[in-house]
Structure 1
Amino acid sequence: MTRLVLLHGIGQQVKGPQTLLADWYPALADGVTLAGGTLERQEVAMGFYGDLFRPVRHRGLGEPDLDASDIEDGLERDLLLAWWEAAAQEESQVPGPDAAARIRTPYLIQRALDALSHSAFFAGLGERLLISDAGQVRRYFTEPDLRAAIRTRFLHALTDRTEVIVAHSLGTVVAYEALCAHPELPDLTLITLGSPLAVRGLILDRLVPAPHGGLGRWPAPVKRWTNLADQGDVVALAKELAPVFGARVTDVLVHNGAKAHDVRPYLTARETGHAIAVALGGTAGRH
């Protein structure tokens, strides 16, 4: 009965598919209802892989004891610095990389973490969680077995009734790569929320299949692709996907308030609901 599959992003390692679906479904239903459509819970499934990032045999309390020294050079470092620069551009209370005098420690990564602690975008995320999130992105791209296992989890959530995929954050990368690898899948609508897919240097150039001439390949099973981004979403550093993946992508800006990357305001947006309702053949409101 699954007509729509949801796919989450980073930071879900201590949850599960039903827990996450219970959290996401009300927002999803609200967005579809605002657009004049309907979507029953039994028509929705969660593609879940968060447990694959869950620490094994961790003896400490809370999150693993991570600090700035645990940030690896390369993708983790560059990702954290990109988040810092973007947050500083969007929020006046976040000191930028050039505001060294306002930050006590000269250590670059610690400076970035200190600066991000002032960001409304990252409100509620402690230093350890920020480091853990950057590490999950790095692990996806550098650990082939993990990458394959995550993609397999997503593919197992699809059925012959699935018509729509709604993916958030790193989940948009997972969905894109899996769909490119399986052109035999039936026609699907892809809806990406807060996607980093078009971020050159950090994400785009690490995709499989690799971009050609700076352009990404169109995933063959996808007949319609809508990408939604909030202007203040620091993770979706490149707000538009059409310049990279082709004019067939419909890019839409939405306003999520202070929680620009949170999946729930993305899901409650009328624009998201419209894209889903149209894909499912329901009556949609104005776009």
Structure 2
Amino acid sequence: MRGSMSRVVVVHGVGRQLDTAETLLAEVGSALRGGVALALRRDPTLGRLADGDIACAGYGDLYRQPGTRGEPYYRAEDVEPGFETELLEAWWREAARLDPRIPGPDNAGPHAAGPGPAARGAVGRLASRPLAVDRVRRALQALTRTRFFGAVSDRLLISDLKQVRRYFTEPELRAAVRARAAELITPETRVVVAHSLGSVVAYEALCALGPDRPPLNLVTLGSPLGLAGLVYDRLQPAPRQDGSGVWPAPVKEWTNLADRGDAVALVRELAPRFGPEVRDLLVDNGSEMHSMRAYLTAVETGTAIATGLAR
């Protein structure tokens, strides 16, 4: 298998259904190498990358609709009540918190609800579908006109919501996605780098591998793993009875990086959830708060990867 001896495995997030592992590698590889190069400028004793060291776990094709040309033309009416509506509102609330110029859920018009538990991981369901669709339109209008999601159309934002929801609600799809990551994590793997929903995929794949694998480092970027209710409480394995998350047995060091303006990484510190061993770092991605490329070119990310390679 190509990439089976790679020391760095990268797991992407949503919105990559037209990519393959090879096309991802062409984009991700240069960004990752750039971040590691910046880290080596600061500390030449860190580990270095060799040819063939990077492999990408591509799973976007599993989301492609057979016999169609690209994504369906989604509209506000296609956002389903429950998980999709709740996640959309959580993003909306966080974007408004980060930027006061964005009209948030609590001042979005006559149908706005009062402060709910959305930011805490659960959002009350709206009473009627017409009001719900109107609220979805307001959320989409707010998000797609902001610097957080400004480059994303309504159609693609809804597609992203559906991909996250499908991962958590369709067991066969979830298993197939996870398998794409697990098959690349070999005894030679030293670092797993995972972005956005990919951090959930990588986390669950690593937990399933068990403690008999050689230790490796986990680097999560823009991760939603700490979002209670919608993500954290749906993880496999589930959090313990005391509320703490299970530590993936093969992971020796875990570095979690988040841009302070990343509205997808609503909970930017994972240590309170998974233990003080998680090293939480803030990075500055400029105007590309949630971009995988921006995260990978950060010197902090390069340092975390090169530290794992140095072992």
**Partner of residue 231 from structure 2, selected from 203, 213, 216:** 203
Could you tell me which runs of 5 or more consecutive residues in structure 2 were left unpaired when the two chains were aligned: 41-45, 112-129
**Partner of residue 46 from structure 1, selected from 45, 56, 70:** 56
Letter in 2 for 1:136: Q
Post-superposition CA distance 1:235-276 (Å, at most 9, x none): 100000000000111001111011100011111111111111
**Partner of residue 19 from structure 1, selected from 16, 20, 23:** 23
* 2:84 is aligned with 1:84: no
Question: Matches of 1:65 and 1:31 in 2, distance apart?
Answer: 36
Q: Cα 1:179–1:110, aligned 2, differ >3 Å: closer, same or farther?
A: same
CA positional deviation for 1:92: 3.4
Contact 2:221 2:292 in 1 (8 A): yes
Indicate the SS of the match to 2:80: coil
Range that drifts further, 89-98 or 247-256: 89-98
Indicate the SS of the match to 1:251: strand
Contact 2:64 2:71 in 1 (8 A): no
CA positional deviation for 1:41: 4.3
Task: Indicate the residue corresponding to 2:143 in structure 1.
Answer: 116
Contact 1:93 1:118 in 2 (8 A): no
Question: Matches of 2:174 and 2:100 in 1, distance apart?
Answer: 37
Indicate the SS of the match to 1:98: helix
CA positional deviation for 1:158: 2.0
* 2:128 is aligned with 1:100: no
Indicate the SS of the match to 1:139: helix
TM-score by length of 2: 0.86
Letter in 1 for 2:103: P
Post-superposition CA distance 1:76-113 (Å, at most 9, x none): 1100001111111112332111233499x961111111
Task: Indicate the residue corresponding to 1:64 in structure 2.
Answer: 72
Question: Matches of 1:278 and 1:63 in 2, distance apart?
Answer: 39
Question: Matches of 1:191 and 1:33 in 2, distance apart?
Answer: 17
CA positional deviation for 1:178: 1.1
Indicate the SS of the match to 2:217: strand
Indicate the SS of the match to 2:139: helix
Aligned residue-pair number: 279
Indicate the SS of the match to 2:105: coil
Post-superposition CA distance 1:34-59 (Å, at most 9, x none): 11153234110001111101111115
Could you tell me which runs of 5 or more consecutive residues in structure 1 were left unpaired when the two chains were aligned: 283-287
CA positional deviation for 1:159: 2.6
Question: Matches of 1:74 and 1:26 in 2, distance apart?
Answer: 39
* 2:250 is aligned with 1:250: no
Question: Matches of 1:191 and 1:144 in 2, distance apart?
Answer: 25
Q: Cα 1:54–1:268, aligned 2, differ >3 Å: closer, same or farther?
A: same
Letter in 2 for 1:56: P
Task: Indicate the residue corresponding to 1:285 in structure 2.
Answer: none
* 2:188 is aligned with 1:161: yes
Letter in 2 for 1:116: L
Please give the residue correspondences for 1:250-269 in structure 2 after superposition, counting only pairs within 5 Å: 250-269=279-298
Letter in 2 for 1:179: L
Contact 1:31 1:273 in 2 (8 A): yes
Indicate the SS of the match to 1:157: coil
Question: Matches of 2:109 and 2:136 in 1, distance apart?
Answer: 15
Post-superposition CA distance 1:10-38 (Å, at most 9, x none): 00001111111111111111110111153
Letter in 1 for 2:256: N
Contact 1:25 1:41 in 2 (8 A): no
CA positional deviation for 1:190: 0.4
Contact 1:95 1:102 in 2 (8 A): no
Letter in 2 for 1:119: T
Question: Matches of 1:161 and 1:114 in 2, distance apart?
Answer: 46
Indicate the SS of the match to 2:183: helix
CA positional deviation for 1:69: 1.2
**Partner of residue 200 from structure 2, selected from 173, 177, 183:** 173
Please give the residue correspondences for 1:265-276 in structure 2 after superposition, counting only pairs within 5 Å: 265-276=294-305
Question: Matches of 1:63 and 1:94 in 2, distance apart?
Answer: 28
Range that drifts further, 38-47 or 228-237: 38-47
CA positional deviation for 1:214: 1.8
